[in-house]
Amino acid sequence: MFTVCALYHFTPFDDPAAIKGPLAKFCCERGITGSLLLAREGINGTVAGADAAIRDLIAYIDALPGCAGFDHKLSQASEQPFGRMKVRLKREIVTMGQPDVDPRASVGHYVDPADWNALISAPDVAVIDTRNDYEVAIGTFDGAVDPETASFRDFPAWWEANKDRFHNKRIAMFCTGGIRCEKSTNYLIGQGVEDVFHLKGGILKYLEEVPEDESLWHGECFVFDGRVSVGHGLVEGPHEMCHACRRPILPEDKARPEYEEGVSCHKCIDDYDDARRERFRERQRQIALSKARGEKHLGPR
Residues 113 and 154 in one domain: yes
- Bridge-based pairing state of the strands 240-241 and 248-249: antiparallel
The domain tally of the chain equals 3
Residue 132 lies in a domain: yes
CATH number of the structural domain spanning residue 171: 3.40.250.10
- Bridge-based pairing state of the strands 33-39 and 85-89: parallel
Q: What are the CB-based long-range contacts (under 8 Å, 24+) for 240-249?
A: 242/267, 242/268, 243/280, 243/299, 243/300, 243/301, 244/268, 244/271, 244/272, 244/277, 244/280, 245/271, 247/134, 248/134, 248/137, 248/138, 248/220, 248/222
Which helix or strand (DSSP H or E) is residue 199 part of? strand 196-199
Residue 136 lies in a domain: yes
What does the mean pLDDT of the chain come to? 95
Residue 43 lies in a domain: yes
Residue 263 lies in a domain: yes
Q: Is 5 a catalytic residue?
A: no
Residues 146 and 193 in one domain: yes
Contact assessment for residue 4 and residue 80, using Cβ atoms and an 8 Å cutoff = no
Residue 106 has pLDDT above 60, yes or no: yes
279: CB partners within 8 A, 6+ apart: none
> Predicted confidence band at 294 (pLDDT cuts at 50, 70, 90)?
confident
Residue 301 has pLDDT above 90, yes or no: no
> Predicted confidence band at 297 (pLDDT cuts at 50, 70, 90)?
low
CA separation for the pair 299, 277 (Å, rounded)? 16
Residues 113 and 48 in one domain: no
Which domain covers residue 296, as residue numbers?
239-300
| Sign of the CA dihedral with 289 first, then 290, 292, and 293 last | positive
Residue 298 has pLDDT above 80, yes or no: no
pLDDT digits (tens, 9 = 90+) for 63-83: 999 999 998 999 999 999 998
Residues 214 and 251 in one domain: no
Q: Report the DSSP beta bridge partners of residue 77.
A: 2
- Bridge-based pairing state of the strands 170-174 and 196-199: parallel
Residues 212 and 134 in one domain: yes
Query: Out of 27, 175, 221, 265, which one is annotated catalytic?
Result: 175
Q: Considering 21, 54, 89, which residue would you say is the last residue of a domain?
A: 89
| Of the candidate ranges 163-172, 260-269, 287-296, the one whose mean pLDDT is the lowest | 287-296
Statement: the pTM of the whole predicted model exceeds 0.85:
yes
> Predicted confidence band at 14 (pLDDT cuts at 50, 70, 90)?
very high
Q: Taking the CB of residue 162, how many other CB atoms lie within 10 A of it?
A: 12
Tell me the backbone φ, ψ of residue 46, rounded to 5 degrees.
-135, 135
Residues 183 and 148 in one domain: yes
pLDDT digits (tens, 9 = 90+) for 177-234: 999 999 999 999 999 998 999 999 999 999 999 999 999 999 999 999 999 999 999 9
- Average pLDDT (91-119) is 96
Q: Considering 55, 89, 123, which residue would you say is the last residue of a domain?
A: 89
Residue 232 lies in a domain: no
pLDDT digits (tens, 9 = 90+) for 228-269: 999 999 999 999 999 999 999 999 999 999 999 999 999 999
CA separation for the pair 81, 34 (Å, rounded)? 8
CATH number of the structural domain spanning residue 39: 3.30.70.100
Residue 233 lies in a domain: no
Residue 49 has pLDDT above 80, yes or no: yes
256: CB partners within 8 A, 6+ apart: 265, 266
Which helix or strand (DSSP H or E) is residue 34 part of? strand 33-39
Q: Which of 176, 150, 151 is nearest to 229 (CA)?
A: 176
Written as one letter, the residue type at 275 is A
Residue 24 lies in a domain: yes
Residue 178 lies in a domain: yes
